């Protein structure tokens, strides 16, 4: 199975698990004319069923755990998970609380981390490049 | 509507509440270059006269703005401050008015004011779930922020044994707890 | 969602919870009859992070500035702004005047970015993606400016108790003015696009009406209140920082349209006017900026000590793009952490108006009507996952998921 | 209508092979046009936009993805709907003249058949939505039905008016020609039959059809059934992988077919007679290219520009636009043509 | 065989009649035997109908004179006009006969399970067969008075069948309404017959047609006949009783009632084309049929949208569909006096209308049967109470879809073939007719999809956990009709050439009918 | 004419250059690995991201040698991103926890911390070596990094 087309047509579902919105607006910014990731075939979709990539932000509060898992399940294979922002990666400023279950990689497997608080839009694009490299390596590994 | 000075407001509280009026203070500072004044007014009343005090505020302005109820765990008692702002809509005239009531931990009850100020509902619900203060007569008893499965009888803002149970506290992996 | 809910006549459509209204995402349960909304219930706290608790359990108030900043990534000037003011009042610190001006400038820059962001999202909500792109493209200018002035696009980290952390120097003024001129030249076009366009009018006029009475009763703040004709604006009523030196007037829609309806369209007007107002405020600030230090106590370590010894309480109020932010702080002597910290975000109160706004509307109006109070931003649509039992075969159980995730964390294709 | 013609086998083989080729070519061009459309829209929005081959990549990717069937769904319908949707969309290509040639099955159906055939993909689409049993998909499917109903009003008026006017000429012929046949329409283009009033009337009908095309293509402002911000993808919420891909393809083909229909009805001209190219091969190539240009023009106006320049309507506004406004406008067109006939 | 065919027309009427009276006897012995008897007799009747159809296709109009030495001896010596009871079967009548035989057979099979839980089943089948008799009689008779008699037979048995399920209160009301309407219609028919008889001393249609003058009493008679038949057929604005009666009958009977509507429609056509025919030189009557037909289409479909009761919902659609036939045939009637127009589109319009009768007779009973199946399984006719049934009733769902596609005229199904025939002819009369037709069929589709969603789609409902697919006999009955749909779908040209066009010609060609009965060489 | 305002604007836009900054390449390369290799080899040029201003706060850097181990940075860090290494009396910093507030930079008495301009940090491993700062050496722009020379050489507004 070739991942060639897959990697150049990544549809993204954005999932906020309790972030501060900072990362979320930068994710949106990535779609806008200045950065325009649609040129890479990336689209934001409204349903995880259509998604290839889950963009997760936020430190995962307890209420969100089942939802995060369900969305992960609803996303058809093959899929990638990218965590945007340090609070999703390691909790960031929210590292200690009575209502946290994160970080994200404690709940679902994560492929690419995008550190930053929030990362610049280019950093998010860079993470896409990293994802491509990962996919290409996986493909080489298979063949 | 007549705009009273802070001092006059304190006087009007005294006349309206009589004995139930406990204390009041005015905080004032000067801002920026023109040194205009930023003032806030803090009034403390007895719990019994709490509703009268709110009623009185409603007479100072028809729709006083209730910003939030803050609550502090002072050890033996819980202090609630109802943060009002009045006289808004007038340049430089607005006042922040904190209405302070102290509740002994043995009797954590406060009457609702949603009948006077419908918008007080959210903050009353929050106070109820976060501090464990029972708001008597609140029209919507549900929790506001805390999840369904949050343990009964635990209140995040309490600093005593009723605070969030230790096993709930979670320090994300990689950091030691404080 | 249970079965009854999927069932005919009136059924319930869940909106949320992956949505950060308030300080936290939110879930709305809409009871719908056909396409009409008959009832709305709000479930807040879907991603309650316990920020106030965190703040009360941190080592010192300086750390809490950054917590306050992350209450929300959009208004991350106004929360620290209100927070530091509250701490300053509690500890009796007076920031230098220059710092007040710099604070004001950043706050107004944020207002521009936030309103443009909102404009884009609002357009997106009504499916007008071109305007979304236009607004966000125009917004990049202010983002660049913010990055230029503060060092980061989103989280600005400008505030320090007793002042600001970075100066705005004379050399930087031209660059700032250049951006402001850009916006001034563009304002006419923005106004035409938003106020004259056919489809936008069709989707926003008489949609999501909030009457003045209701606005007052439900304690709404910010553009939501002002669009309903309540001239409430902290910058005007109880001015703080450099606003006290300027003469600010609360913007109401009648300034453009002559009447106040309180619908989504009016909220657009108010926000547009405020963009213009913000530009003017920044210009005035640049003009009047006094010289002097930018911190009351430049040594952070000393500041920490002062704060540990301070005792008192204070309230800080700031007019965020979405409305008034209030922080209450109580400090106890000998204790470095905050004794009490209470935050009131504007959406907190505005949200109470949502049922009033939505009732009687169509499903199609929900995104735009809800977005019009600007609950941070609106991903009312980010809702797919309902609690309904469509969970299908669970591909992987929790245990396995956990294992998988741990493995993946380790497996490193280098 | 005579399917039982002689040479049934030869005809059958020709038809089957021809259909496959045609659908393939139509699909490829459809995707290409979708790519161009996305590119142009992006440029109009000040962006670079995806490469033109992007739709091919999307399709390829969707095909390799897992297709999940949700628990609550009526699974056989849920899986059948995308197939039906694609097949019926592809069917359109067989009945509409493409590339300046006759329609492959042109002898078996005419413009009125197309009016009905156009319903099928939308119907399959809606059924798929109903079968997903998700509230969003259900609302989406209901909206799809409303939209379908709404634009069928002006569509019917436009096509029947056209046929009626052409029929005034062609039914007098011996033997009379069916004015709804595309071959007849091409032979007697409406513009050559009518006077100035009729030209205005016909222009109005063209306008109607363009707006209908926009709705048919389910693009903003008429994309209420999928409304991403309201319904999170609407009908398609529960679809994934191959099934989603089929819908995606069907949508692309439908848009292409719809634009070709407008071309076939109102711009049935070929370039080769005009510039006087005699050799059939060359003429074919020229006409084919000219056809692509015409379709492009229709698509650009009815889809790219409209969807860039407008906000999404509410469902009530969609039905208002079509049922009231567009229907009245198209009736005005009909009246003008009728008046033109009298004077 | 020849003898059989010679007598087939009377046998077709007689066999059900005889069987009807045998049923109580056989029914006492065994249920199975009775069911077998019903099937066998109806199947045999169907066989006869097809045989007769073939004969007519080859030899032209079939005449049968009761009591005459030779069945085709219509005019006894010494009489100028036929006096005996004459059956006259032409292309149009036999088309109706074919329909009636198929639907009644399917209805009977459907009833076996559908009615199984009711008491008085013998009575049910007796009535059913009587109704079959009445129907055939109406279609085959060549005599106005006999038409009246058979109409009465069909009406009374129909009313009794509607009210058959006495355990539901609304059935009584429905049956009552039906009988009242029938009685009024009968009275009007009887009065009209009186008017005609008084003038011309004859009741044989052919004979009358030959001599009719179109005097004022004739006009009154025409109006009365038309009102009576259109009322019984449920044309707007005389449709109000229609859903009330149709929705409460057992579904199998509703299916048959649809055909009795067609029979009344047929009677109206006969009156217009064959009886008055060339007399109606102006297009007034045609226009009346067209306008009320359009009204029926629109009112029917818009009323249907609001119905929650699945059977009422379908009844309104029946009204709407009947409108197509009125319009199609009406256009033909309107241009009957103009041979040129008749040739360019009039005949096609009539063919379309008639073809639509055939198609409607397939999909509408099918849809009523699926409605009955839903009722059978859920015990309710309320669409809003149903849901998620596709999970359980796959066959019913598929059959419903076939019916829906067909009624909405979705290509390539049969409903489309007839509609397109109508559209492509009537637009030349007036483009609005075609536009309305298309729009109504879209509305039809929309409302059927809505009902489809309410009943079949969505998650499974807990209250229908136990629901199973309906019994096999009901499925078979529905499949018979679906097979009819598919057959027509596959070979529309065949059907049009062999059945529909002859029927249309039979209507247009008044002379042939007259000649057949008066014996003059055409 | 107002109604056509939008259409005119967008049609005009059709012929203008898009506002997009094409980092790192206009379209997705067929093979990213090859693309990156060619970039390292200098055969291809990567289109650079929007330049960062001088005050930009990117990945943190630490001059380990001069760290005194005073722990003030730990005291003030809001994310617990800084860990003390007791054996060496030095600190290490986890970039994947940091919130880039630079508060530690400000408080550090010997000024051995600084924020660099590096922000393309995406990674497969959040504890990768480059994201755990132990020593960045005598970093360009650590102590040496001057207060921003403001105003000079700032990029002008990028868009029309
Ligand atoms: S990483 Fe930072 S900016 Fe991003 S969501 Fe978390 S706290 Fe907000
Ligand atoms: S700020 Fe208040 S509501 Fe928000 S997370 Fe913290 S405690 Fe909860
Ligand atoms: S109003 Fe919203 S965006 Fe602004 S700070 Fe509060 S939560 Fe953030
Ligand atoms: S885009 Fe992100 S921050 Fe904005 S509303 Fe949606 S989830 Fe929230
Ligand atoms: S995903 Fe949601 S919030 Fe984001 S752009 Fe789309 S609709 Fe808006
Ligand atoms: S920059 Fe801020 S968050 Fe990062 S290590 Fe320094 S103090 Fe901690
Ligand atoms: S503050 Fe500076 S010197 Fe002190 S431990 Fe931290 S890095 Fe080292
Ligand atoms: S120890 Fe005190 S004097 Fe020395 S650098 Fe730190 S704060 Fe300044």
Host domain of residue D139: 8-342
Contact partners for chain D, using 3 or more CB pairs closer than 8 A, are A, C, E, F
- Residues E313/E383, Cβ–Cβ less than 8 Å: yes
- Summarised one tens digit per residue, pLDDT across range F41-76 is 888 788 888 888 888 888 888 888 888 888 888 888
In our burial notation (b when 16+ CB lie closer than 10 A, e otherwise), range E303-322 reads bbeebebbbbbbbbbbbbbb
Q: What is the pLDDT of residue A101?
A: 80
Stated as kind and residue range, the H or E segment containing D186 is helix D182-187
**Local structure of E216: helix, strand or coil:** helix
- Residues D98/D291, Cβ–Cβ less than 8 Å: yes
For residue D221, whether the previous peptide bond is cis, meaning omega lies within 30 degrees of 0, is: yes
Q: What is the pLDDT of residue A6?
A: 79
Structure-token pair, residue E388: 């998620």
DSSP 8-state class, residue A6:
H
Rg of chain B, C-alpha, whole Å: 19
Ligand 7 contacts (CB < 6 A) are: F 67-73, 91, 108, 110, 112-113
Q: Is residue E454 part of a domain?
A: yes
Host domain of residue E425: 281-490
CA distance C5 to A68: 23
Residues of E in contact with D1 (CB under 8 A): 417, 492-493, 496
Question: Is E52 exposed, middle or buried (CB count within 10 Å of its CB: 0-12, 13-18, 19+)?
Answer: buried
Residues of F in contact with B175 (CB under 8 A): 80, 97
Does the pLDDT of residue D234 top 70, yes or no? no
In our burial notation (b when 16+ CB lie closer than 10 A, e otherwise), range A2-29 reads ebbbbbbbbbbbbbbbbbbbbbbbbbbb
Identify the residue whose C-alpha is closest to ligand 8 atom 4: F109
| Torsion angle in degrees (nearest 10) through CA of F141, F147, F153, F154 | 100
Across the range D38-48, mean pLDDT stands at 84
**CATH fold for domain C3-47+353-411:** Enolase-like; domain 1 (3.30.390)
CA distance C331 to C338: 6
CA distance D155 to D139: 24
Does the pLDDT of residue B87 top 60, yes or no? yes
Q: Which of A98, A9, A110, A125 is nearest to A57 (CA)?
A: A110
Residue F113 CA, closest ligand 7 atom number = 7
- Residues D227/D234, Cβ–Cβ less than 8 Å: yes
Q: Do C203 and D312 touch (CB under 8 A)?
A: yes
Ligand 4 contacts (CB < 6 A) are: A 16, 21, 24, 28; C 19-20, 376-379, 382
Q: Is residue D1 part of a domain?
A: no
What angle (nearest 5°) sits at the alpha carbon of residue F95, between those of residues F92 and F100? 110
Q: Which of E395, E409, E355 is nearest to E478 (CA)?
A: E395
| Residue D256 or residue C126, greater confidence | D256
Q: What is the pLDDT of residue C406?
A: 34
- Residues E196/E144, Cβ–Cβ less than 8 Å: yes
Residues of A in contact with D57 (CB under 8 A): 5, 8-9, 41
Identify the residue whose C-alpha is closest to ligand 7 atom 7: F67
Interface of B with C in 108-137 (CB under 8 A): 117-123
* Count of other CB atoms within 10 angstroms of residue C60: 21
- The position carrying tokens 């001896």 is E73
**pLDDT band per the 50, 70, 90 thresholds, residue E32:** confident
Alpha carbon distances (Å) from A24 to A95, C66, E395: 19, 18, 49
| Torsion angle in degrees (nearest 10) through CA of D160, D163, D169, D174 | -110
The contacts of residue E3 (CB under 8 Å, 6+ apart) are none
| Torsion angle in degrees (nearest 10) through CA of B125, B127, B130, B134 | -80
- Residues E453/D142, Cβ–Cβ less than 8 Å: yes
Alpha carbon E180 to chain centroid, angstroms:
20
Question: Is C195 exposed, middle or buried (CB count within 10 Å of its CB: 0-12, 13-18, 19+)?
Answer: middle
**pLDDT band per the 50, 70, 90 thresholds, residue D270:** confident
Cα(C84) to centroid(ligand 1), Å: 20
CA distance C127 to C149: 34
Closest residue in A to C17 (Cα) is: A64
- Cβ–ligand 1 distance for A17 under 6 Å, the answer no
- Residues A133/A37, Cβ–Cβ less than 8 Å: no
Q: Do D49 and A36 touch (CB under 8 A)?
A: yes
Does the pLDDT of residue C18 top 50, yes or no? no
- The position carrying tokens 């029914």 is E27
- Residues C348/B122, Cβ–Cβ less than 8 Å: yes
**Local structure of A118: helix, strand or coil:** coil
- Residues D113/D106, Cβ–Cβ less than 8 Å: no
CA distance D122 to D118: 7
* Count of other CB atoms within 10 angstroms of residue D102: 13
Interface of A with D in 93-132 (CB under 8 A): none
Question: Is A141 exposed, middle or buried (CB count within 10 Å of its CB: 0-12, 13-18, 19+)?
Answer: exposed
**CATH fold for domain A3-142:** Rossmann fold (3.40.50)
Question: Is B8 exposed, middle or buried (CB count within 10 Å of its CB: 0-12, 13-18, 19+)?
Answer: exposed
Contact partners for chain A, using 3 or more CB pairs closer than 8 A, are B, C, D, F
Mean predicted lDDT score pLDDT of chain D: 77
Best C54, C60, C61, C63 member to test F by mutation, with max F CBs in 10 Å, is: C63
Closest residue in C to B58 (Cα) is: C217
Does the pLDDT of residue D100 top 50, yes or no? yes
CA distance E184 to E161: 19
Alpha carbon D228 to chain centroid, angstroms:
22
Q: What is the pLDDT of residue B77?
A: 85
- Summarised one tens digit per residue, pLDDT across range E426-474 is 888 888 888 888 888 888 888 888 888 877 777 677 777 777 777 788 8
For residue C396, whether the previous peptide bond is cis, meaning omega lies within 30 degrees of 0, is: no
- Summarised one tens digit per residue, pLDDT across range E397-421 is 888 888 888 888 887 788 888 888 8
Structure-token pair, residue C136: 């966000």
Across the range D177-205, mean pLDDT stands at 77
Lowest mean pLDDT among A50-59, C147-156, D97-106, E499-508: D97-106
Does the pLDDT of residue C381 top 80, yes or no? no
Q: Do C385 and A17 touch (CB under 8 A)?
A: no
Domain residue ranges of chain C, discontinuous segments joined by +: 3-47+353-411, 51-349
* Domains in chain D, number: 1
Q: Of the residues F63, F73, F82, which should be mutated to test ligand 7's pocket, given the most ligand atoms within 8 Å of the CB?
A: F73
The contacts of residue E64 (CB under 8 Å, 6+ apart) are E6, E7, E9, E10, E71, E72, E86, E87, E88, E89
Domains of chain B plus CATH, in order, are: 6-168 (3.30.460.80)
The contacts of residue D107 (CB under 8 Å, 6+ apart) are none
Alpha carbon distances (Å) from B75 to B157, C329, C332, D20: 12, 17, 13, 82
- Crossing angle, helix D8-44 and helix D54-64, to 10 degrees? 110
Is C244 in the B-facing interface, judged by CB distances under 8 Å?
A: yes
- Summarised one tens digit per residue, pLDDT across range E201-240 is 777 787 777 777 777 888 888 888 888 888 888 787 777 7
Stated as kind and residue range, the H or E segment containing E432 is helix E431-456
CA distance C240 to C236: 9
Domain C51-349 has CATH 1.10.645.10: yes
Alpha-carbon gap: D250 to the closest alpha carbon of chain A (Å) = 16
Q: Is residue D149 part of a domain?
A: yes
Alpha-carbon gap: A73 to the closest alpha carbon of chain F (Å) = 22
Across the range B42-63, mean pLDDT stands at 86
Q: What is the pLDDT of residue F156?
A: 35
The contacts of residue B59 (CB under 8 Å, 6+ apart) are none
Is C127 in the A-facing interface, judged by CB distances under 8 Å?
A: no
Q: Do A115 and F31 touch (CB under 8 A)?
A: no
- Summarised one tens digit per residue, pLDDT across range C35-87 is 677 767 666 555 566 677 777 777 788 888 888 888 777 778 888 898 999 99
CA distance B50 to C138: 51
* Domains in chain E, number: 1
Residue B157 CA, closest ligand 2 atom number = 7
């Amino acid at each position: 199975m070739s991942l060639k087309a897959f990697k150049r047509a990544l549809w993204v579902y954005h999932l906020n698990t309790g972030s501060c919105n900072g990362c979320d607006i930068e994710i949106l910014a990535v779609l806008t004319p200045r950065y325009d990731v649609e040129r890479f075939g990336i689209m934001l979709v409204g349903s995880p069923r259509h998604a290839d990539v889950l963009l997760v932000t936020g430190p995962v509060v307890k209420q969100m755990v089942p939802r995060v898992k369900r969305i992960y399940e609803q996303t058809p294979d093959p899929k990638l998970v990218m965590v945007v922002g340090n609070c999703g990666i390691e909790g960031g400023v929210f590292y200690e609380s009575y209502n946290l279950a994160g970080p994200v990689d404690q709940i679902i497997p994560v492929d690419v981390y995008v550190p930053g608080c929030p990362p610049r839009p280019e950093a998010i694009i860079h993470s896409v490049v990293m994802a491509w490299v990962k996919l290409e390596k996986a493909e080489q590994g298979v063949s | 509507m007549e705009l009273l000075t802070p001092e006059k407001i304190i006087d009007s509280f005294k006349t309206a509440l009589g004995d139930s009026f406990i204390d009041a203070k005015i905080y004032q500072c000067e801002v920026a270059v023109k040194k205009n004044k930023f003032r806030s007014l803090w009034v403390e009343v007895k719990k019994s006269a709490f509703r009268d005090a709110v009623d009185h505020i409603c007479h100072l302005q028809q729709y006083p703005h209730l910003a939030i109820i803050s609550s502090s765990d002072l050890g033996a008692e819980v202090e609630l401050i109802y943060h009002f702002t009045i006289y808004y809509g007038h340049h430089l005239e607005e006042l922040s008015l904190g209405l302070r009531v102290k509740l002994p931990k043995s009797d954590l009850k406060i009457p609702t004011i949603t009948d006077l100020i419908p918008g007080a509902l959210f903050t009353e619900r929050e106070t109820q779930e976060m501090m464990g203060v029972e708001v008597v007569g609140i029209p919507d008893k549900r929790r506001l922020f805390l999840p369904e499965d949050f343990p009964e009888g635990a209140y995040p803002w309490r600093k005593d044994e009723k605070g969030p149970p230790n096993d709930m506290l979670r320090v994300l992996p990689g950091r030691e707890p404080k | 969602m249970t079965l009854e809910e999927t069932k005919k006549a009136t059924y319930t459509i869940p909106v949320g919870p992956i949505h950060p209204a308030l300080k936290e995402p939110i879930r709305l349960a809409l009871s719908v009859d056909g396409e009409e909304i008959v009832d709305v219930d709000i479930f807040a706290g879907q991603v309650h992070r316990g920020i106030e608790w965190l703040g009360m359990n941190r080592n010192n108030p300086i750390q809490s500035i950054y917590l306050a900043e992350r209450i929300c990534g959009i208004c991350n000037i106004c929360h620290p702004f209100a927070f530091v003011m509250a701490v300053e009042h509690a500890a009796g610190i007076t920031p230098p005047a220059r710092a007040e001006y710099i604070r004001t400038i950043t706050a107004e820059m944020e207002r521009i970015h936030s309103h443009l962001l909102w404009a884009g999202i609002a357009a997106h909500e009504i499916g007008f993606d071109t305007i979304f792109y236009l607004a966000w493209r125009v917004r990049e200018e202010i983002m660049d400016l913010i990055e230029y002035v503060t060092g980061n696009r989103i989280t600005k980290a400008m505030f320090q108790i007793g002042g600001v952390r970075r100066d705005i120097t004379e050399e930087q003024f031209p660059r700032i003015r250049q951006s402001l001129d850009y916006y001034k030249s563009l304002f006419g076009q923005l106004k035409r696009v938003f106020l004259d366009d056919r489809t936008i009018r069709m989707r926003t006029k008489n949609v999501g009406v909030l009457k003045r009475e209701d606005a007052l009763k439900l304690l709404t703040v910010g553009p939501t209140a002002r669009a309903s004709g309540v001239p409430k604006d902290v910058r005007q009523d109880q001015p703080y920082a450099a606003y006290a030196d300027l003469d600010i007037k609360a913007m109401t829609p009648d300034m453009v349209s002559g009447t106040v309806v309180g619908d989504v369209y009016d909220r657009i007007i108010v926000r547009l006017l405020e963009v213009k107002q913000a530009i003017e405020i920044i210009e005035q600030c640049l003009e009047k900026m006094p010289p002097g230090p930018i911190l009351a106590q430049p040594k952070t370590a000393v500041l920490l000590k002062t704060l540990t010894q301070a005792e008192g309480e204070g309230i800080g109020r700031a007019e965020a793009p979405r409305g008034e932010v209030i922080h209450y702080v109580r400090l106890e002597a000998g204790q470095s952490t905050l004794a009490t910290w209470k935050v009131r975000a504007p959406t907190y109160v505005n949200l109470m108006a949502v049922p009033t706004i939505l009732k009687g509307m169509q499903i199609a109006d929900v995104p735009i009507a809800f977005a019009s109070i600007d609950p941070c931003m609106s991903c009312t649509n980010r809702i797919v996952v309902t609690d309904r039992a469509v969970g299908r075969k669970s591909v992987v159980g929790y245990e396995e998921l956990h294992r998988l995730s741990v493995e993946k964390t380790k497996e490193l294709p280098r | 209508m005579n399917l039982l013609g002689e040479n049934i086998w030869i005809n059958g083989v020709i038809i089957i092979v021809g259909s496959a080729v045609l659908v393939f070519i139509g699909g490829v061009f459809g995707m290409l046009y979708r790519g161009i459309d996305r590119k142009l829209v992006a440029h109009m929005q000040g962006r670079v936009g995806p490469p033109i081959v992007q739709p091919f990549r999307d399709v390829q990717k969707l095909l390799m993805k897992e297709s999940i069937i949700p628990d609550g769904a009526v699974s056989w319908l849920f899986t059948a709907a995308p197939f039906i949707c694609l097949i019926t969309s592809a069917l359109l290509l067989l009945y509409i003249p493409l590339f300046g040639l006759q329609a492959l099955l042109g002898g078996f159906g005419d413009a009125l058949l197309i009016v009905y055939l156009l319903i099928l993909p939308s119907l399959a689409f809606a059924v798929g939505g109903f079968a997903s049993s998700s509230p969003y998909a259900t609302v989406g499917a209901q909206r799809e039905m409303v939209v379908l109903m709404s634009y069928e009003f002006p569509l019917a008026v436009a096509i029947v008016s056209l046929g009626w006017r052409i029929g005034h000429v062609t039914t007098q012929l011996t033997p009379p020609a069916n004015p709804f046949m595309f071959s007849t329409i091409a032979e007697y283009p409406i513009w050559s039959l009518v006077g100035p009033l009729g030209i205005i009337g016909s222009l109005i009908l063209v306008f109607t059809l363009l707006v209908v095309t926009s709705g048919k293509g389910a693009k903003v402002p008429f994309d209420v059934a999928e409304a991403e911000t309201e319904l999170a993808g609407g009908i398609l919420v529960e679809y994934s992988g191959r099934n989603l891909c089929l819908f995606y393809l069907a949508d692309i083909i439908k848009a292409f077919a719809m634009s070709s229909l407008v071309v076939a009805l109102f711009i049935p001209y070929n370039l080769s007679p005009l510039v006087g190219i005699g050799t059939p091969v060359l003429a074919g190539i020229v006409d084919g290219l000219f056809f692509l240009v015409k379709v492009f023009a229709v698509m650009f106006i009815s889809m790219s520009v409209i969807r860039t320049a407008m906000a999404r309507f509410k469902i009530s506004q969609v039905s208002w636009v079509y049922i009231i406004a567009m229907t009245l406008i198209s009736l005005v067109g009909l009246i003008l043509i009728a008046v033109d006939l009298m004077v | 065989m020849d003898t059989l065919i010679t007598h087939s027309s009377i046998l077709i009427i007689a066999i059900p009649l005889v069987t009807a009276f045998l049923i109580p006897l056989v029914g006492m012995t065994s249920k199975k035997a009775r069911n077998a008897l019903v099937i066998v007799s109806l199947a045999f009747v169907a066989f006869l109908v097809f045989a007769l159809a073939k004969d007519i296709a080859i030899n032209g109009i079939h005449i049968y004179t009761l009591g005459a030495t030779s069945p085709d001896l219509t005019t006894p010596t010494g009489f100028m006009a036929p006096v005996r009871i004459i059956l006259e079967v032409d292309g149009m009548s036999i088309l109706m006969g074919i329909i009636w035989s198929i639907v009644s057979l399917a209805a009977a099979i459907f009833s076996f399970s559908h009615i199984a839980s009711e008491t008085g089943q013998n009575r049910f089948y007796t009535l059913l067969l009587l109704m079959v008799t009445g129907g055939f009689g109406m279609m085959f008779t060549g005599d106005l008075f006999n038409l009246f008699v058979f109409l009465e037979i069909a009406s009374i048995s129909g009313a009794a069948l509607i009210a058959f399920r006495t355990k539901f209160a609304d059935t009584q009301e429905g049956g009552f309404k039906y009988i009242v309407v029938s009685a009024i219609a009968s009275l009007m028919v009887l009065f009209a017959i009186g008017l005609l008889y008084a003038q011309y001393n004859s009741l044989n249609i052919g004979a009358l047609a030959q001599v009719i003058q179109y005097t004022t009493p004739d006009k009154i008679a025409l109006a009365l006949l038309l009102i009576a038949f259109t009322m019984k057929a449920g044309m707007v604005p005389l449709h109000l009783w229609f859903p009330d009666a149709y929705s409460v009958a057992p579904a199998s009977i509703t299916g048959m009632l649809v055909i009795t509507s067609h029979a009344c429609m047929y009677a109206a056509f006969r009156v217009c084309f064959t009886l008055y025919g060339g007399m109606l030189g102006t297009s007034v009557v045609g226009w009346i049929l067209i306008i009320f037909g359009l009204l029926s289409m629109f009112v029917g479909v818009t009323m249907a949208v609001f119905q929650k009761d699945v059977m009422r919902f379908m009844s309104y659609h029946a009204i709407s569909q009947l409108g197509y036939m009125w319009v199609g045939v009406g256009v033909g009637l309107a241009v009957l006096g103009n041979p040129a127009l008749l040739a360019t589109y009039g005949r096609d319009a009539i063919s379309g209308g008639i073809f639509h009768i055939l198609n409607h007779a397939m999909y509408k009973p099918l849809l009523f049967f699926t409605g009955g199946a839903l009722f059978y399984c859920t015990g309710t006719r309320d669409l809003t109470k149903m849901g998620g049934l596709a999970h359980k009733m796959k066959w019913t769902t598929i059959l419903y879809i076939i019916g829906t596609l067909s009624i909405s005229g979705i290509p390539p199904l049969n409903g489309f073939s007839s509609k397109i025939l109508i559209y492509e002819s009537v637009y030349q009369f007036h483009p609005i007719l075609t536009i309305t037709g298309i729009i109504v069929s879209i509305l039809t589709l929309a409302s059927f999809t809505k009902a489809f969603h309410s009943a079949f789609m969505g998650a499974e409902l807990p209250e229908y956990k136990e629901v199973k697919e309906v019994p096999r006999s009901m499925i078979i009955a529905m499949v018979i009709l679906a097979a009819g749909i598919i057959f027509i779908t596959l070979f529309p040209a065949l059907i049009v050439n062999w059945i529909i066009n002859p029927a249309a010609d039979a209507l247009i060609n008044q002379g042939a009918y007259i000649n057949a009965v008066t014996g003059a060489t055409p | 004419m107002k109604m056509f305002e939008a259409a005119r604007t967008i049609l005009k836009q059709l012929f203008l250059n898009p506002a997009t900054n094409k980092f790192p390449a206009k379209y997705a390369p067929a093979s990213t690995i090859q693309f990156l290799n060619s970039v390292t080899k200098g055969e291809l040029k990567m289109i650079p991201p929007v330049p960062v201003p001088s005050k930009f706060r990117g990945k943190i850097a630490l001059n380990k040698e001069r760290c005194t181990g005073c722990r003030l940075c730990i005291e003030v860090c809001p994310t617990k991103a800084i860990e003390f290494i007791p054996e060496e009396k030095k600190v290490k910093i986890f970039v994947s926890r940091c919130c880039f507030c630079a508060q530690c930079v400000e408080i550090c008495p010997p000024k051995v911390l600084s924020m660099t301009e590096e922000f393309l940090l995406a990674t497969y491993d959040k504890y990768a070596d480059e994201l755990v700062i132990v020593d960045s050496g005598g970093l360009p722009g650590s102590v040496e990094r001057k207060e921003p020379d403001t105003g000079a050489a700032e990029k002008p507004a990028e868009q029309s």
